[in-house]
Structure 1
Amino acid sequence: MLKHPVLSELPPGLSTLSAHWGWLLFRGIAAVAFGILAFVWPDLTLASLVVVWGAYAVVDGAFALVYGIGGAGRRRWMYVLVGLTGIVAGLAALFWPSIAIVAFMMIVGYWALIAGICEIIYAIQYRRAQAHPWLVGLSGFLSVVIGLVIVMFFYPDGVISVAWLAGGYAIAYGILMTCAAAQLRRFQRRLTA
């Protein structure tokens, strides 16, 4: 069994953030749901895919924003940035669903890149905690890789390839966020015990 760090040695704000494990769980479930929709209905029109993704990004951004505002310490700015980026990208997709596929993919790519960088920074700052940082860091790395692939190299041939890329990313990201939430919940239980 792993030896747990003394509470005084934990990074500041982790106990407060662990109380908000439900926000990460919801983000994970929403991501998996979007990913499943993208695989189940890959023949959605591009406008429909943009609207579904836009709704997901707004909801995810809102929960990240609430999580960041409710957190303690100076590290909450990362989730505020992730939340604002998600809301802006989602609203852009919702209000302009007829944008070209390249513009849509650029929005998704830059959103994934910014969210991933913020999650990697978060994981590095909380690396001493044995609660969840490696999962957040791994999901951040996944986001950065997908963001870079989209922004630099991805020129899709059709809606199905967009749906599969977005769906696969969302499912993997959602699973990692759900696992991070579960670890934070276990950490919260240890704190209250």
Structure 2
Amino acid sequence: MSETLIRYWWAVVLRGVAAVLFGLLALIWPDITVFVLVVLFGAYALVDGVLALVAAATGEHRGRRGWLIFAGVVGVLAGIVTFVWPGVTTLALLYVIAAWALVTGVLEIMAAIRLRREIHGEWLYILSGACSVLFGILLAVWPATGALALMILIGSFSIVFGVVLVAFGLRLRRLRQEHSHAGLGRPATA
């Protein structure tokens, strides 16, 4: 699993960039309508799910890809649900986002725990999962916070989550470079 993550570090970075862009859009237009929020969230969840499925499909370790496939399917389904029912109320959308954040966060924490013996810096992946779980819990506990507060919370979470994922992806890139240097007989750099 770590070799697959290291090889496809760019997919982790893309997920992070997508999260940051989504978060910035949510903060730039705080008076955004529920329909546009549904479309933005649906697009983000769909892209995130597809990227997770692509990462699972390109990996060599079939037995370890189950959780990545599950996370991808959940993301794709969350995206599809938001497009099929665009008239969903803020409260219903809130619970869809909360459930998605909880599932994604738990799966990321579980993956990071499995990786802790294989790579250094897995704590960034644990941190991104913990941010996702915390976000999901906050949304589920306080569902009636209003559209503006929801947009600020979603935007802030997405930016923090995205930055952490980008940092983790760049760490994976550095590990890939270290592996390639070590494979060529050159000393690995830190």
What is the TM-score normalised by the length of structure 1?
0.89
Give the partner amino acid of 1:154.
Answer: P
- Equivalent residue for 2:56? 68
| 2:47 matches 1:47 | no
- Equivalent residue for 2:69? 80
Alpha-carbon distance, 1:14 to partner: 1.4
Q: After TM superposition, list the pairs within 5 Å mapping 1:79-98 onto structure 2.
A: 79-98=68-87
Instruction: Name the SS of the counterpart of 1:72 in structure 2.
Output: coil
- Equivalent residue for 2:169? 181
Contiguous gaps of at least 5 residues in structure 1: 1-12
Q: After TM superposition, list the pairs within 5 Å mapping 1:3-152 onto structure 2.
A: 13-73=1-61, 74-152=63-141
Q: After TM superposition, list the pairs within 5 Å mapping 1:135-174 onto structure 2.
A: 135-157=124-146, 159-174=147-162
Distance 1:132 1:181 in 2: 10
Instruction: Name the SS of the counterpart of 1:144 in structure 2.
Output: helix
- Equivalent residue for 1:191? 179
Distance 1:22 1:190 in 2: 16
Tell me the number of residue pairs that the alignment of Structure 1 and Structure 2 aligns.
180
Distance 2:128 2:60 in 1: 22
Alpha-carbon distance, 1:104 to partner: 0.2
CA-to-aligned-CA distance 1:66-113 (integer Å, 9 cap, x gap):
112222322221211111111101111112111011110000000000
Structure 1 segments of 4+ aligned residues over 4 angstroms from their partners:
none
Give the partner amino acid of 1:107.
Answer: V
Alpha-carbon distance, 1:168 to partner: 0.6
CA-to-aligned-CA distance 1:119-151 (integer Å, 9 cap, x gap):
000111111234431111111011111111212
Distance 1:31 1:130 in 2: 24
Over the residues paired in the alignment, what is the CA RMSD in angstroms? 1.2
State whether residues 2 and 119 of structure 2, in contact with CA within 8 Å, keep that contact through their aligned partners in structure 1: no
Contiguous gaps of at least 5 residues in structure 2: 182-190
Distance 1:152 1:68 in 2: 32
State whether residues 6 and 176 of structure 2, in contact with CA within 8 Å, keep that contact through their aligned partners in structure 1: yes
- Equivalent residue for 2:187? none
Give the partner amino acid of 1:173.
Answer: F
Distance 1:24 1:185 in 2: 10
Alpha-carbon distance, 1:175 to partner: 0.3
Aligned-pair identity (%)? 36
